[in-house]
Structure 1
Amino acid sequence: MAGNAFLLSIIYLLVGIAVEGARRVYPSTFVQRLSLSLDALPARALEFVGAMEPLRRVYLNGKLPEYQVRLIFGVTTVAIIFVLAFVVGLIVGGLRSYVERRALRKYNQGGRG
């Protein structure tokens, strides 16, 4: 579970670095839209917890450089990936346990009769 989340986080961060580099070197509409789509997940998560508006205000006032905003978005996304991996792991583990217990009950009932 943690290994998959770690791998997915690394892939996301590498894609983000590549897109950010492309955005600076080759600022096309496609690259700009790709960058915005990568920023959508952490922006919505930060908005959900009430942190996006203060972050936006500080950034627009010039008190927070762009690289720090990118760093905050990256950390937020990695946290989301790990939380999702944990939740999915709990659900799958619970379902697996349920199926195993049910199969064991059927086996025990069949063996006694």
Structure 2
Amino acid sequence: MWGNAFLLSALYLLVGVVVELALRYFPSLFLQRLSLSLDSLPARALELMGAMEPLRTAYFNGRIPEYAVRLVFGLTTVAVIFLLALVVGTVMGTLRHLLSRRTRGA
């Protein structure tokens, strides 16, 4: 469960880094849309926590650079994917445990 969560988080970050690098050297509409779709997960999570507006304001006022926003988005993405993997793993583990108890008792 922990390994899967880590692997998914690392894979998402790797894809994000590759897309951002490709966007810098080979700008295209496809890569822009892909970058925006990758950013939607952390943006929504930050929005739900109430942190997106202060981050947006700080960025547009020049108080934080773009790399800091990318870092916040990356860490948020890792946290969201990690938590999702843990929740799914816990639910699946609980179901497996309940089913194995049920079959042993039958």
TM-score scaled by length of structure 2: 0.97
CA RMSD of aligned residues (A): 0.7
Larger relative contact order (CA 8 Å, sep ≥ 6): 2
Which structure: larger Rg?
1
Q: How much does 1:5 deviate?
A: 1.1
The residue identity in structure 2 corresponding to 1:64 is I
Q: In percent, how many aligned pairs have the same letter?
A: 65
1:71-103 CA-to-partner distances (Å, cap 9, x unmatched) read 100000000111011101110111011101111
Provide the aligned length of Structure 1 versus Structure 2: 106
The residue identity in structure 2 corresponding to 1:91 is V
Q: Secondary structure at the match of 2:47?
A: helix
Q: Secondary structure at the match of 1:20?
A: helix
Structure 1 unpaired stretches of 5+: 107-113
Q: How much does 1:29 deviate?
A: 0.6
> What does residue 51 of structure 1 align with?
51
Structure 2 unpaired stretches of 5+: none
1:41-89 CA-to-partner distances (Å, cap 9, x unmatched) read 0000000010000000000001110011001000000001110111011
Q: Secondary structure at the match of 2:57?
A: helix
> What does residue 109 of structure 1 align with?
none
Moved over 3 A (4+): none
> What does residue 96 of structure 2 align with?
96
Q: Secondary structure at the match of 1:99?
A: helix
Following superposition of structure 1 onto structure 2, how do residues 1-113 of structure 1 map, counting pairs within 5 Å? 1-106=1-106
